[in-house]
Structure 1
Amino acid sequence: MENVTNRFLRYVKFDTQSNEDDTVSTTLGQKELAQILVQELRTMDLEDVFLDDNGYVMAYLPANTDKLIPTLGFIAHLDTSPDMSGNGVNPQIIEDYDGGDILLHKEKNILLSPKDFPELKTYRGKTLITTDGTTLLGADDKAGIAEIMTAMDYLKNHQEIPHGKICLAFTPNEEVGRGTDHFSIERFGAEFAYTVDGGPIGELEYENFNAAGAKVRVQGRNIHPGSAKGKMINAILLAQEYIDQIPKTETPAETEGYEGFYHLTNSQGEVEEAELHYIIRDFDLISFENRKEVMRQGVDKLNEKYGQGTFTIEIKNQYFNMKEKIEPVKHIVATAAKAMEAVGVAPDIRPIRGGTDGARLSYMGLPTPNIFTGGHNFHGKYEFIPTFAMEKAVEVILEIIEMYAKS
């Protein structure tokens, strides 16, 4: 049986970076990894293994007991973030980490340092996997895939462990908010599920942001600069004026815990036209709606100043806080917490300052809290994951399955 670290190191070699273009159904690298997973699942002799046209992988481990046991699901996503390249990932393995700086890239002098990331010191003496400073690592969520696959492989090789039916799914395009667009709850068949898509060891999450994306478009007027007085309208400068209206203390870098934010993710433009892309996040639904209204009012205010149609805004909801759907079946959170404790992991129940496929699935009728993968600093070159945390994630998955078999 292949261990979880080796699986992970194989999977990160696939460039599965998402594309935010709505016309792209699934990127080529996601399809390639999906095909590999299908082959491996069939080698494990799981049942009804398939890859559909939308890039979803599903498979089933049948129950090995006649006892009535709830049908569980485990889900991870194939793609990595569009925020940084996932092409040519070259993992570095740091054995017996000494607690100091880790040189990721010599020529560029890129350091993974406990001065910037104090949590590193808690992993002194452990084995870490890092990037080489030029790409992200891909633990979000290839660590989750590796952990689920390793757990299923273990169960297939240990038939003495009783379990009910286990449903698996690996989804595309989670990082661009489309991970469940074509997910068939009926086809999946689980009563409830867990996404394995969290961060550091012990994380257990059943609350997440309400989320929306906003596009602000600015229409300018380009005139030759030699004769532009009183005529030119520079869309870039007007876009900056809109940015200046958004509260500076309500950005990701200034907020934590249950605090929401506005996040400018992209800006582009010329004198004639400019466009701003924002994401809007808040745990409280009323505050979430208020944030959207603040952005609309900013457009209205500047249109009064520069003329109607100079600014336009499009806001689309992306997902909602799954807490409302988890609360009626909160025993699934309690079971995950007990499973962690049983394998020596302290549960850290906290809100997700983001979202997972589980948020949308919960609103589709499949309550789906989120458990840790073990990774840190997702979506960038400072990403790392301790190998022992991946091993513990496998143990937690197995313990959850056993607990339901024994209940």
Structure 2
Amino acid sequence: MNARSELVERFFRYAAIESQSDERVPTLPSTAGQHELAALLAAELRDLGLANVVVDRNAIVTAMKRGDRPGVPRIGFIAHLDTANVGLSPSVRPQIKRYVGEDLCLNRDKDIWFRANEHPEAEAWRDQDIIFSDGTSVLGADNKAAIAVIMTLLSHLSSSDAHGDICVAFVPDEEIGLRGAKALDLSRFPCDFAYTIDCCELGEVVIENFNAALGEIAFTGVSAHPMSAKGVLVNPLLMALDFVGQFDRSDTPECTEGTEGYFWFNDLLANDSEARLSVMIRDFDKAHFERRKQLIAEAAELSKQRYPSGRIEFKISDTYQNISDSLGDDRRSIELLLAALEELDIKPKLTPMRGGTDGAALSARGLTTPNFFTGAHNFHSRFEFLPIPAFEKSFQTALMICRLAVK
């Protein structure tokens, strides 16, 4: 089977397994489907003849393809098992459609259309075959396209391809805090450097991303009957809204771009007695990131002064950090990736990622892990799509990295 056909066949097979993560579940993995996908991949890795295939109780899969060139870098590739839960169906039904620059019907029964004027990014792929969902779910190219790339790479690295040792890892729950990458036993992933293949259109390379933290603020009010509420009642919902009101309305995801950071107040639960507020804190610059966390503390202190008979408590937990802060002087991984793109005549697009990847967690643990593209667009959306030519370029990039590493 040629690489293009195998990529597509594998993607369809992996996409058929429901593996949305669930942030409400504290176990690792958070959903049973990730166990199912992990077991399937482990079996396929064994069939491909890889060594040291392990799938643990946390659905973390690791293995190694032995190379024939000692003394060359040992390269790692890592992808995540979960897809994002954005309130759409967990069942993915991929389909291939040729895009000719006109509106595409993704689902006739539900009248779901991919509108050409709403998606100018598709114009670059006019007259090409593209993988879409049926519009009721995300496509799951984030990150099953990467899983298909890695598995096809392992399948196509034949005895005629000189290469060093290749380490692979598949981890759960990336979408809910990089949980799997943080739990990965690096002794089972003993590479000199690694690559995530996660999101991003053709040519995109990520060597910097947000520093990220989660803030959780609890407001305890004083409940009272309206007939005797004056001077007594402290409404925790209003306390929370007043807290949010202390922040710049333009300092939010929908008002920022590039390397601009933000606060994202994204969850609020309240009743007569208490309210709980969550905020995502993001910034590329480490000093600015720490200042943002300090602003949460200052807002809490001001709220205490405004509501002396109420109570405000907060907790801030770091989620991941900027890959660039961990690069140091060893830039072999980046140089090798850029050389592979040049060899394939792919223009690199160094993109500050307004999010995080497993590479952020691994880089913070001392394993340099930049990211490169799967070729897909519109992640976490019913209009996510994967141009097959870009998908194939992702595979070719991974293959070229392995080949150039031995030169």
> How high is the TM-score relative to the length of structure 2?
0.94
**How far apart in 1 are the matches of 2:299 and 2:116?**
40
**How far apart in 1 are the matches of 2:46 and 2:21?**
26
1:103 corresponds to: 105
Give the letter aligned to residue 7 of structure 2.
V
Whether the aligned pair in 2 keeps the contact of 1:281 and 1:288 (CA below 8 Å) is yes
2:79 corresponds to: 76
**How far apart in 2 are the matches of 1:216 and 1:114?**
42
User: Cα distance, 1:308 vs. partner?
Assistant: 6.0
Is the partner of 2:58 in helix, strand or coil? coil
Is the partner of 1:160 in helix, strand or coil? coil
2:365 corresponds to: 364
1:176 corresponds to: 176
2:330 corresponds to: 329
Between 1:5-14 and 1:18-27, the stretch displaced more is 18-27
**How far apart in 2 are the matches of 1:204 and 1:386?**
18
User: Cα distance, 1:86 vs. partner?
Assistant: 5.3
**How far apart in 2 are the matches of 1:108 and 1:371?**
35
User: Cα distance, 1:19 vs. partner?
Assistant: 1.9
Q: Assess, with a 3 A threshold, how the Cα gap between structure 1 residues 301 and 110 changes in structure 2: closer, same or farther.
A: farther
**How far apart in 1 are the matches of 2:227 and 2:84?**
44
**How far apart in 1 are the matches of 2:103 and 2:291?**
43
**How far apart in 2 are the matches of 1:135 and 1:180?**
25
Q: Assess, with a 3 A threshold, how the Cα gap between structure 1 residues 112 and 290 changes in structure 2: closer, same or farther.
A: farther
User: Cα distance, 1:317 vs. partner?
Assistant: 0.6
**How far apart in 1 are the matches of 2:343 and 2:398?**
11
Is the partner of 1:135 in helix, strand or coil? coil
User: Cα distance, 1:381 vs. partner?
Assistant: 1.6
1:149 corresponds to: 151
**How far apart in 2 are the matches of 1:187 and 1:391?**
28
User: Cα distance, 1:244 vs. partner?
Assistant: 2.0
User: Cα distance, 1:108 vs. partner?
Assistant: 5.3
User: Cα distance, 1:182 vs. partner?
Assistant: 1.8
Whether the aligned pair in 1 keeps the contact of 2:234 and 2:307 (CA below 8 Å) is no
Give the letter aligned to residue 174 of structure 1.
E
Give the letter aligned to residue 90 of structure 1.
R
Whether the aligned pair in 2 keeps the contact of 1:16 and 1:86 (CA below 8 Å) is no
Size of the alignment, in residue pairs?
402
1:351 aligns with 2:352: yes
User: Cα distance, 1:48 vs. partner?
Assistant: 1.2
**How far apart in 2 are the matches of 1:199 and 1:327?**
24
**How far apart in 1 are the matches of 2:6 and 2:406?**
24
Find 1:57's aligned residue among 53, 61, 64: 61
User: Cα distance, 1:340 vs. partner?
Assistant: 1.5
**How far apart in 1 are the matches of 2:337 and 2:183?**
27
**How far apart in 2 are the matches of 1:191 and 1:81?**
30
2:286 corresponds to: 285
Between 1:69-78 and 1:293-302, the stretch displaced more is 293-302
Is the partner of 1:149 in helix, strand or coil? helix
Find 1:18's aligned residue among 9, 16, 21: 21
User: Cα distance, 1:250 vs. partner?
Assistant: 1.3
1:135 corresponds to: 137
Whether the aligned pair in 1 keeps the contact of 2:243 and 2:303 (CA below 8 Å) is yes
What are the Cα deviations for residues 167-188 of structure 1, in whole angstroms up to 9, with x where unaligned?
0000111111112232112221
User: Cα distance, 1:304 vs. partner?
Assistant: 0.6
User: Cα distance, 1:359 vs. partner?
Assistant: 1.0
**How far apart in 2 are the matches of 1:39 and 1:264?**
42
Between 1:274-283 and 1:126-135, the stretch displaced more is 126-135
Q: Assess, with a 3 A threshold, how the Cα gap between structure 1 residues 236 and 32 changes in structure 2: closer, same or farther.
A: same
Q: Assess, with a 3 A threshold, how the Cα gap between structure 1 residues 103 and 248 changes in structure 2: closer, same or farther.
A: farther
Give the letter aligned to residue 82 of structure 1.
N
Find 1:8's aligned residue among 3, 6, 11: 11
**How far apart in 2 are the matches of 1:229 and 1:256?**
45
What does 1:372-391 align with in structure 2 at a 5 Å threshold? 372-391=373-392
User: Cα distance, 1:233 vs. partner?
Assistant: 2.8
Structure 2 portions without partners, runs of 5+:
none
Whether the aligned pair in 1 keeps the contact of 2:234 and 2:309 (CA below 8 Å) is no
**How far apart in 1 are the matches of 2:11 and 2:216?**
36
User: Cα distance, 1:227 vs. partner?
Assistant: 5.1
2:298 corresponds to: 297
**How far apart in 1 are the matches of 2:266 and 2:374?**
25
Q: What is the Cα-based RMSD across aligned positions, in Å?
A: 1.8
What are the Cα deviations for residues 17-71 of structure 1, in whole angstroms up to 9, with x where unaligned?
1122362221211000000001111111111111012211001100134x42111
**How far apart in 2 are the matches of 1:64 and 1:309?**
67
Structure 1 portions without partners, runs of 5+:
none
Is the partner of 2:83 in helix, strand or coil? coil
**How far apart in 2 are the matches of 1:64 and 1:86?**
45
Whether the aligned pair in 2 keeps the contact of 1:84 and 1:136 (CA below 8 Å) is no
**How far apart in 2 are the matches of 1:42 and 1:179?**
22
User: Cα distance, 1:190 vs. partner?
Assistant: 0.3
What does 1:83-98 align with in structure 2 at a 5 Å threshold? 83-85=86-88, 87-95=90-98, 97-98=99-100
**How far apart in 1 are the matches of 2:239 and 2:64?**
54
Whether the aligned pair in 1 keeps the contact of 2:141 and 2:199 (CA below 8 Å) is no
1:399 corresponds to: 400
Is the partner of 1:375 in helix, strand or coil? coil
**How far apart in 1 are the matches of 2:161 and 2:149?**
18
What are the Cα deviations for residues 174-233 of structure 1, in whole angstroms up to 9, with x where unaligned?
111112232112221101111111311111111111110111222233334465444433
> How high is the TM-score relative to the length of structure 1?
0.94
**How far apart in 1 are the matches of 2:117 and 2:228?**
53
User: Cα distance, 1:338 vs. partner?
Assistant: 1.7
**How far apart in 2 are the matches of 1:303 and 1:102?**
54
1:253 corresponds to: 254
